[in-house]
Amino acid sequence: MTFTLQELATLSGAELIGDPKLQITGAASLGEATPGEISFFANRKYIGLLRKTCASAIFVPPDFAEPINAAQVRVSNPTKAFEQVLLKFAPSTVTFAPGIHSTAIVDPSVQLGERVSIQPLAVIEAGTRIGDDTIVGAGSYIGHETVIGSACHIYPQVTIRERSKIGSRVIVHSGAVIGADGFGFEMVDGRQEKIQQLGIVQIDDDVEIGANTTIDRARFGRTWIQEGAKIDNLVQIAHNVVIGKNTVIAAQSGIAGSVQIGQRVLIGGQVGVIGHIEIGDNTALGAQSGISKNISGGAWWASPAVPLAEAKQQIAWVRRLGKLFARVKEIERKLGL
């Protein structure tokens, strides 16, 4: 598939600086683009790649002033414009025909909406309700009395345990487990005895859950992932956690039980959060931070986490310790100590 540069500029509502008849045959990153392809530049840290790119055209911000040989497509959001064009060159979307595959096991009591697709070897237990246009991937398990909304995509090999509540337009990637028992035990007569986990998991509309992520059911009440939250691969969310609207959690993070996380929180990779604390709205947690107390707002980093500016200052101090020790030894030598 080929487009002229003018066609792509018109699609993006952009200003074109270059040959409008230039033929564009694909889209790629600055480092991978070849002649005939279009790329994008939206972050100054990639200026080195920009100067070396072989792309024939580049989406750039309106105030772009770097001298380059490639044609410029000036647009307010180069990243979004590039995404739109990338979709034009992408292969057609994989679709799944409505209906129940002959190898799937669906209890007679299950209520299916219109155009639902149940793929091979899926198991849908009694009392489950699934909304219109939802896809349940091959080998997935949907437990008893679970409710799944419309236009969801449950990828292959997902486990959703009993009585979970899933909203609409939710995406759950392969290997995720929703509704496993929370990790609750109590020492009785010198032995660990299991505390029954009788609650549910509730996942609201427009949530995406990454591969091999685990979201435990509540001890009582609910573990609640609110509307628009995005959770990466390999994340552990314990019982009775609440994740606020439009919060983003990166891979390998672990959230202990009964943590309350606000709206629009950004959690970097490998962050650990101890149980029974609160993280307020609009907080950003740097990668590998350890959160041990209630915090709210701003950027935090390190373990235990402190405000970002303080964490950077502490690192600078630590890195200067060697020189400080050397100075002290020299002073002691001069003083004859």
Do 298 and 317 form a contact (C-beta atoms < 8 A)?
A: no
What total of structural domains would you count in the chain?
Answer: 2
Q: Is residue 322 part of a domain?
A: no
Specify the pLDDT at position 91: 87
CB 211 within 8 A of CB 228: no
Give residue 165's domain range: 99-310
At 1 the pLDDT is 83
79 shares its domain with 222: no
Residue entry with tokens 């050397």: 326
Q: Are residues 285 and 150 in the same domain?
A: yes
Name, in order, each residue with C-beta under 8 angstroms of 217's C-beta and a sequence gap of 6 or more.
161, 164, 179, 180, 181, 182, 197, 199, 200, 201, 223, 239
Boundary-marking domain end, from 61, 89, 117: 89
Q: What is the full per-residue pLDDT of the chain (337 aa) written as tens digits?
A: 899 999 999 999 999 999 999 999 999 999 999 999 999 999 989 999 999 999 999 999 999 988 999 999 999 999 999 999 999 998 888 999 999 999 999 999 999 999 999 999 999 999 999 999 999 999 999 999 999 999 999 999 999 999 999 999 999 999 999 999 999 999 999 999 999 999 999 999 999 999 999 999 999 999 999 999 999 999 999 999 999 999 999 999 999 999 999 999 999 999 999 999 999 999 999 999 999 999 999 999 999 999 999 999 998 998 999 999 999 999 988 898 7
Tell me, yes or no, if 153 is annotated catalytic. Answer: no
Tokens describing residue 158: 């997902």
Whether residues 111 and 54 share a domain: the answer is: no
Last residue of a domain, one of 89, 121, 155: 89
- Give the CATH number, domain containing residue 55: 3.40.1390.10
Q: Does 139 share its domain with 271?
A: yes
Count of other CB atoms within 10 angstroms of residue 323: 9
Q: What is the distance between the alpha carbons of residues 19 and 333, in angstroms, rounded to a whole number? A: 72
Q: Looking at the structure, tell me whether residues 113 and 243 fall in a common domain.
A: yes
DSSP three-state, residue 201: strand
Q: Is residue 329 part of a domain?
A: no
For residue 333, tell me if it sits in a domain. no
Nearest 10 degrees: CA dihedral of 101, 177, 270, 285?
A: 100
Quote the pLDDT of residue 337. 79
Q: What is the reported pLDDT for 54?
A: 96
146's CB contacts (< 8 A; 6+ apart) are: 125, 127, 128, 129, 160, 161, 162, 163, 164, 165, 166
Q: Which pairs count as long-range contacts for 217-224, CB under 8 Å and 24+ apart, including other chains?
A: 217/161, 217/164, 217/179, 217/180, 217/181, 217/182, 218/182, 219/182, 219/184, 219/195, 219/257, 222/165, 223/182, 223/199
Residue 70 lies inside a defined structural domain of this protein: yes
The catalytic position among 101, 144, 173, 239 is 239
- Residue 90 is predicted with a pLDDT of 87
What's the pTM? Answer: 0.86
pLDDT at 242: 98
308 sits in which H/E element: helix 308-319
Q: Tell me, yes or no, whether 163 and 184 share the same domain.
A: yes
| Per-residue pLDDT, 176 | 98
User: If DSSP codes are grouped into helix, strand and coil, which group holds residue 100?
Assistant: strand
